[in-house]
């Protein structure tokens, strides 16, 4: 069923807890309903298609149309001795999909447990955590355009990279993700080397999918606030990539600096470490603060506006640029 609202509150559709409204809001349950909306000529600029709002920062009331998918099926479309392929609606809560995989002993998604948002956004953002990214399990992405055209992009078509995909490009704004096909392993395949996963797993009698999922929950919960309690969008900044020359220069000044080699030319430096070195961890600017347990997270302490969040973001970025000569960029999309 298509549900349409005017002057609609988006408070429950953004994890930052910013109390703003959309002039027009439409929710739909199927691709066919989205086609009906498009054929009626309802989708006109300005418009935006959202998921769970876990990666959005609304800076003011949205004067256009907000579309939201409630396509919520999970269908097994292919199975071999080693793998299973699932076709998943874009409106499924991402962690519900991960839970389904773990419950059925399908391997590949477990490290992505407890990430907020919906399935459709996983391809747009190429969500990632603890050594795994959505691109590692995505087979193809189904789309519908604002003109009513259908398309299917293979994983290689999606141009996935760190927190990026082709769907973030301006020319793809008129395409909406409707379903994603994921390919999972039926035999044990774990990625446990990242962060504190192995250490956390020592608390469990054996390594199982359920144990890994519980370990990921424990690790994330220890350093990331619950958006239902403290408004936030998870990691606010992306980890910067620098060339090896810049890395060597910084390493000489900061020998304790953590880093990850991306390839022979590129090094990833944790933005959280840089932010902490600048003294921002736990510090507030008005009603917004850097979370005391994780310097990568901006939190709404209550009553913050989008502009308040941007003010703190800009101050933090300026500090990192001044101290390290490196730009850190928001992972969160600003919507005005």
Catalytic residue numbers, as ranges: 163, 235, 331
Q: What CA–CA distance (Å, rounded) separates 43 from 25?
A: 11
Listed in sequence order, the residues at least 6 apart from 138 whose beta carbon sits closer than 8 Å to its beta carbon are 122, 123, 155, 158, 160, 180, 181, 182, 183
Reading the block at residue 26, the tokens are 């439409």
Are the beta carbons of 131 and 108 closer than 8 angstroms? no
Are the beta carbons of 19 and 61 closer than 8 angstroms? no
Residue with tokens 């990242």: 194
- Residue by residue, DSSP assigns 12-60 as GG-TT----EEEEEEEESSHHHHHHHHHTT---SSEEEESSSTTEEE-S
Reading the block at residue 83, the tokens are 């793998």
DSSP3 helix / strand / coil % (the chain, rounded to 5):
30, 30, 40
Question: Do strands 266-268 and 3-9 pair parallel, antiparallel, or not at all (unpaired)?
Answer: unpaired
């Amino acid at each position: 069923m298509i549900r349409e609202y005017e002057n609609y509150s988006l408070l429950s559709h953004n994890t930052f807890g910013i109390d703003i409204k959309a002039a027009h809001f439409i929710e739909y349950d199927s691709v066919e309903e989205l086609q009906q909306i498009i054929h009626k000529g309802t989708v006109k600029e300005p418009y935006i298609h959202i998921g769970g709002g876990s990666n959005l920062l609304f800076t003011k009331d949205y004067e256009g149309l907000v579309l939201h998918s409630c396509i919520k099926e999970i269908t097994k479309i292919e199975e071999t001795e080693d793998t299973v392929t699932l076709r998943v609606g874009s409106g499924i809560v991402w962690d519900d999909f991960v839970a389904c995989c773990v419950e059925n002993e399908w391997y590949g998604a477990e490290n992505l447990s407890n990430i907020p948002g919906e399935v459709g956004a996983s391809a747009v953002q190429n969500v990632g955590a603890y050594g795994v990214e959505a691109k590692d399990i995505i087979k193809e992405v189904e789309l519908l355009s604002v003109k009513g055209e259908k398309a299917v992009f293979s994983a290689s078509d999606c141009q996935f990279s760190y927190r990026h995909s082709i769907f973030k490009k301006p020319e793809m704004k008129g395409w909406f993700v409707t379903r994603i096909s994921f390919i999972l392993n039926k035999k044990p395949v774990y990625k446990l080397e990242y962060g504190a996963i192995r250490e956390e797993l020592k608390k469990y009698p054996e390594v199982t999918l359920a144990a890994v999922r519980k370990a990921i929950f424990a690790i994330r919960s220890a350093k990331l606030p619950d958006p239902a309690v403290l408004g936030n969008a998870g990691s606010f900044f992306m980890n910067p990539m620098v060339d090896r020359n810049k890395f060597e220069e910084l390493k000489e000044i900061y020998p304790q600096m953590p880093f990850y080699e991306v390839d022979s030319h590129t090094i990833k430096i944790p933005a959280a470490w840089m932010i902490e070195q600048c003294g921002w961890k736990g510090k507030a600017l008005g009603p917004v603060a850097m979370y005391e347990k994780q310097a990568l997270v901006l939190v709404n302490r209550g009553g913050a506006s989008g502009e308040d969040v941007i003010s703190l973001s800009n101050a933090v970025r300026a500090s990192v640029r001044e101290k390290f000569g490196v730009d850190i960029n928001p992972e969160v999309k600003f919507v005005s």
